[in-house]
Structure 1
Amino acid sequence: MRAAKAGLHGLFAVYKPPGVPWKGVRDAVETKLLSELNSLERPPPSQQVRFLPSTVEGKDGKELTLTVTQLPVLAEHPLVSGPIFTYLKVGAGHRLDKKSSGVFVLGVGRGNKLLGDVYRAHLSRTYTVRGLFGKATDDFSDTGKLIEKTTFDHITGEKLQRILAVIQGSNHKALLQYANIDLKTQEAYELAVKGLIRPMEKSPPLITAIRCLQFEPPDFQLEIHCMHETQQYLRKIVHEIGLELKSTAVCTQVRRVRDGAFTLDDALLRIQWTLRSIRNAILQSRLKVKTELRNTMAYQEIFAGSLREREARLSQTIADCEHSKGVMPWLQTQ
């Protein structure tokens, strides 16, 4: 049974349905794993040697003697010891709120440390977001309190595309600002061309790419690549798109389809939340997670090198200024 638990160290993804809190999903997985671990066949209880009194026929009749006997250790009996596994640490990655659904990454055992490494890698995530033109609510969702109704007949796909282009352009400028990397270096330039530049510290929500997947007024669907986001932020984006188009819009669905290296294909459905499936999912994800973290380390080296180069140039500039003050004192500020 210890060997069975030994395979439960790593990361895996499950599919979180809408309407369920993320804590409920995590607790359900944890409970299922503990139940299956404790249902496995136990090793037989160890034996202990005991000297038990017994009677034997002797010359003077029955005599009392001690007989060597092996008996099972009752303290190891399931009814006495209870379940072997009473605790299993299952940690949660980037959360999904109750209304959202999609890829939800969990860590078990030593995988909880990997969750921290993935968090510090600042990986991007991808969502499909559905919206509905013509309504405005207090929480930007279709289930919120209705505030306003508007017309939407004037909205065209071309107008929507223009708004999306503006959103992506403004976020790209912010991305370069918070990435704090020198684009004059060859490595940084190549990363920028591939769209791999990202901030290595906490920043406001950033959209790295946004496009329209479906436009059938009043319904529309977007694909959003982002980082440091919340699902409520994505609902607000839908609301602001409606305002920019001289109308209103509410969000009807937020679905995460990718979280770092994990996609919908990796996410286990409720019927797959079993010991065997989770252990297989952990094994299959190890290479992907390792590769993603290795790429992040390489990016961090470029990021650190860029900082060192800028600091060196700044130091040289300061030194030149100090030298100029000594050589041409008449240029100093009076």
Structure 2
Amino acid sequence: MQFPMSALFGVAKPSGPTSMSIINDVKELVTQSKLFMDAEKLEKNKGKKLSRRGRNEIKMGQGGTLDPLADGVLVVGVGKGTKKLSQFLDCVKEYRTTVLLGCETDSYDSDGSRVALAPWRHVTREQVESALDKFRGQIQQTPPIFSALKMDGRPLYEYARQGIPLPRPIEPRPVTVHSLELVEWNIKHDFKWPEQTLSDQQKSAMETATGECVADAAETPEEGEVPTAFVLQMRVSGGTYVRSIAHDLAHEVGSAGCVVTLTRTRQGQFALSPEEEDDKGCVPWEVFAKASVELGEKDSSGLYAWEQEVLSHLEVVA
């Protein structure tokens, strides 16, 4: 194999960091690796903590952002691999998500602020499974206002945060849900409804942006009681918002709901658990985290352990 190379590889992103912070941390290692940099630039970068300007020495990007809450497959492109990243925006993706009933947030997930509480005790597994039919196949889906989707050049979330009225209602978009299954019901958990609520100013801003009234009804668990949570598994087209499916499904069964865990298990040929012949696995985040602290020793081929791990998972781009 000839170095340096251009490539695609998957990183198993943990929940918590932003996708951009993951890319920047990986880039610190990539710009000091003979896998991706020529000898002259390697010598220049040796032992240095790169500045933002230094990071521009190599092209690197990701094929579809994951929210901080989400974990799972994050496709990374290096060099000419960045030209292939657009294909991952529209490819089929697979997700596993946990939905907590009884609470709705502004972002549709547990990182947001509580908007409303609703009854949940009446919801049965049979009701949820029956309601899933409405979300399979080709459907029209309205993206959440807390998303990066742009309207007149401005991300939707800016309208909500700044209390700017939307120029027009958010238009539903066609997406395809190839499969959608309830795989675990009423799971044991320690998830709680977000304690953070909207201030009067934030409520006013959100109502101004959406034109809808924000309410927080009183419906709290009894002592020792936890609201129902269940797990969905789905295979969807690019552009599908898992958070919207959870939000809309909860409404369909007469409740409210928010996403408390979200894992992208597959994006194109990159998967957390490879199953098909052409599948590629993902490099565990711990590999990069460890190398960022201490590179360790090189092997007989002159590669560090993290480089060997990436090499075993990547797809070379000519």
Aligned to 2:184: 214
**Distance in 2 (alpha carbons) for counterparts of 1:30 and 1:208:** 35
Q: 1:236 Cα shift?
A: 2.0
Alignment root-mean-square deviation, CA: 3.0
Residue of structure 1 aligned with 2:287, choices 248, 272, 275: 272
Letter in 1 for 2:282: A
Aligned to 1:29: 26
Aligned to 1:10: 7
Q: 1:272 Cα shift?
A: 2.5
Residue of structure 2 aligned with 1:242, choices 241, 250, 256: 250
Aligned to 2:259: 251
Structure 2 unmatched ranges of 5 or more: 49-53, 141-172, 187-226, 274-280, 289-305
Contact kept? 2:96, 2:265, Cα under 8 Å: yes
Aligned to 1:90: 60
Bigger relative contact order (CA 8 A; separation at least 6): 2
Aligned length: 211
Q: 1:83 Cα shift?
A: 3.1
Aligned to 1:130: 98
User: Pairwise mapping of residues 24-173 of structure 1 onto structure 2 (< 5 A)?
Assistant: 24-37=21-34, 82-83=44-45, 87-116=57-86, 118-119=87-88, 122-169=90-137, 171=139
**Distance in 2 (alpha carbons) for counterparts of 1:254 and 1:277:** 25
Q: 1:119 Cα shift?
A: 4.0
Contact kept? 1:161, 1:212, Cα under 8 Å: yes
Aligned to 2:268: 260
TM-score, with structure 2 as normaliser: 0.59
Deviates more, 1:148-157 or 1:127-136: 148-157
Q: 1:4 Cα shift?
A: 6.7
TM-score, with structure 1 as normaliser: 0.56
Residue of structure 2 aligned with 1:225, choices 218, 225, 235: 235
Q: 1:106 Cα shift?
A: 0.7
Q: 1:35 Cα shift?
A: 3.0
Q: 1:247 to 1:83 in 2, by over 3 A?
A: closer
Pair member with larger Rg: 1
Structure 1 unmatched ranges of 5 or more: 43-75, 173-202, 291-334
Contact kept? 2:69, 2:111, Cα under 8 Å: no
Contact kept? 1:206, 1:229, Cα under 8 Å: no
Q: Hey, which bits of structure 1, 4+ residues long, moved more than 4 A?
A: none
Contact kept? 1:10, 1:114, Cα under 8 Å: no
Q: 1:88 to 1:276 in 2, by over 3 A?
A: farther
Q: Percent identity?
A: 24
Aligned to 2:278: none
Letter in 1 for 2:310: I
Structure number having the greater helix percentage: 1
Letter in 2 for 1:238: A
Q: 1:170 Cα shift?
A: 5.2
